[in-house]
Homo-oligomer: A and B are copies of this chain.
């Protein structure tokens, strides 16, 4: 998906919501475990059908699928295919946080962009340029590089200031612009980071930011928009647990849809388009 297509989808839907498919067999409604042959996919399918009108992206986190072995990966594959076939306007993010030496990153890129055909992969920057660039060789495919994450541990290294007065996440933002522009690169910035969005927009005024951390992690949507929104929106805000696990009865999908709509309504207000 191109940047312009993404912007058009946001404009049309008046939403920049991404629903995180962190599907855990220990948390999904019990009746699915009893009744469904592939409960992970059954859960995802129901959640997708209920929330698709209110979001522009889905973000399955690979950890959750890998944890259930082959069964989990089959469900991941089916989920991506289901989205591709039924909701081609959804931006699909494989939240995998990969990154390795060049020949290895190339293998990961091939997996996610050729085997699974997702639109974007999250990548960790620690290993530098040649760990990231193999993901950039696919037209219309994106790298979403970790910059300033939503967790407490983001303070351990990402905020470390270097001799040029630059914090590590700022160096990541600057340096990585040598590798790709805003047509192929986005950045992960946690919703819990508040005013840091102002500093980030000084370095990447036009890039899309993938923002996890509203909902269960406690970040504020208003604050993210206040400091992070651009003329073209420039934000994809993710919510996982607060939407997909809002209800554990047979009504789970309907309630997830309602929760997604609530967030999308807030977003429509904040977009001011």
A21 to B105: give the CA distance in the assembly, Å.
16
CB of A67 closer than 8 Å to a CB of B = yes
Cβ A67 vs Cβ B162 within 8 A: no
Which residue of chain B is the closest to A176 with respect to CB atoms?
B156
Q: Does A73 contact B (CB under 8 A)?
A: yes
Chain B residue numbers with a CB within 8 Å of A126 are 124-126, 146, 149, 157-158
B128–A153 touching, CB < 8 Å: yes
Q: Closest approach, in angstroms, between the C-beta of A28 and any C-beta of chain B?
A: 14
Residue A61 at the chain B interface, CB threshold 8 Å: yes
Question: Is A38 interfacial (CB-CB < 8 Å)?
Answer: no
Stretch at the interface among A39-47, A50-58, A94-102, A222-230: A94-102
A177 sits at the interface (CB 8 A): no
Beyond A66-B107, A104-B22, is A153–B124 a contact (Cβ under 8 Å)? no
Instruction: Give chain A interface residues in 51-101, CB to chain B under 8 Å.
Output: 61, 63-64, 66-67, 69-70, 73-74, 77, 95, 97-101
Bin chain A's interface residue count: 35 or more
How many Å from the CB of A109 to the closest CB on chain B?
A: 9
Of A9-17, A167-175, A251-259, the one contacting chain B is A167-175
- Residue among A105, A124, A127 with the most chain B CB within 10 A? A127
Contact B130 A151 (CB under 8 A): yes
Is A160 engaged at the interface, CB distance under 8 Å to the other chain?
yes
A70: chain B residues within 8 A (beta carbon): 70, 73-74, 77
List, in ascending order, chain B residues with CB within 8 A of A172's CB.
157
Which interface residue of A101, A128, A146 has the most chain B CB atoms within 10 A? A101
Interface string of A134-156 (1 = CB under 8 A from B): 00000000000010011111111
Asked if residues A146 and B127 are in contact (CB atoms below 8 Å), the reply is yes
Chain B neighbourhood of A132, CB < 8 A: 153
- Binary interface profile of A, 233-268, with partner B (CB < 8 Å = 1, else 0)? 000000000000000000000000000000000000
Say if the beta carbon of A163 comes within 8 Å of chain B. yes
- Chain B residues near A3 (CB, 8 Å)? none
Closest chain-B Cβ to A100's Cβ sits at a distance in Å of 5
A163 — which chain B residues lie within 8 A by C-beta? 161-163
Residues of B contacting A155 in the complex (Cβ-Cβ under 8 angstroms)? 128
Verify if A131 is at the interface (C-beta below 8 Å from B). yes
Let me know if A115 is at the binding interface, CB within 8 A.
yes
Among the listed B124, B129, B154, which residue makes an inter-chain contact with A156, where contact means beta carbons less than 8 Å apart? B129
Q: How far is the CB of A168 from chain B (nearest CB, A)?
A: 7
Question: Taking A107-B67, A111-B67 as contacts, is the C-beta distance between A157 and B151 under 8 angstroms?
Answer: no
Complex CA–CA separation, A98 to B146 (angstroms): 13
